[in-house]
A and B are shown apart, each in its own frame.
Chain A
Amino acid sequence: AQTVTQSQPEMSVQEAETVTLSCTYDTSESDYYLFWYKQPPSRQMILVIRQEAYKQQNATENRFSVNFQKAAKSFSLKISDSQLGDAAMYFCAYRTSYNTDKLIFGTGTRLQVFP
Chain B
Amino acid sequence: DVKVTQSSRYLVKRTGEKVFLECVQDMDHENMFWYRQDPGLGLRLIYFSYDVKMKEKGDIPEGYSVSREKKERFSLILESASTNQTSMYLCASSPPRDYGYTFGSGTRLTVV
Q: Could you list which residues of chain A lie within 8 angstroms of chain B, going by C-beta atoms?
A: 4, 6, 9, 33, 35, 37, 42-45, 47, 50, 91, 101-108
Contacts and interface: CB of A to CB of B under 8 A. Distances in A.
B103 interface: yes
Contacts of A50: 99-100
Nearest to A47: B100
B31 A101 contact: yes
* A interface: dominant SS: loop
Given A43-B88, A45-B90, A101 B40 contact: no
Interface residues of B, number: 25
Nearest to A45: B103
B42 A103 contact: no
Given A4-B42, A33-B99, 4 more contacts: A45-B90, A47-B99, A91-B42, A102-B48
Contacts of B99: 33, 35, 47, 50
B50 to A, nearest CB: 8
B41 A102 contact: no
B40 A9 contact: yes
B103 A44 contact: yes
Nearest to A9: B40
Contacts of B88: 43
The 4 A-B residue pairs with the shortest CB-CB distance, nearest first, are A45-B103, A107-B42, A105-B43, A43-B106
Contacts of B41: 107
B36 to A, nearest CB: 11
Contacts of B44: 105
A103 B46 CA distance: 12
30 contacts: A4-B42, A6-B42, A33-B99, A35-B99, A35-B100, A37-B100, A42-B105, A43-B88, A43-B106, A44-B105, A45-B90, A45-B103, A47-B99, A47-B100, A91-B42, A91-B43, A101-B31, A101-B94, A101-B96, A101-B97, A101-B98, A102-B45, A103-B33, A103-B43, A104-B45, A105-B35, A105-B42, A107-B40, A107-B41, A107-B42
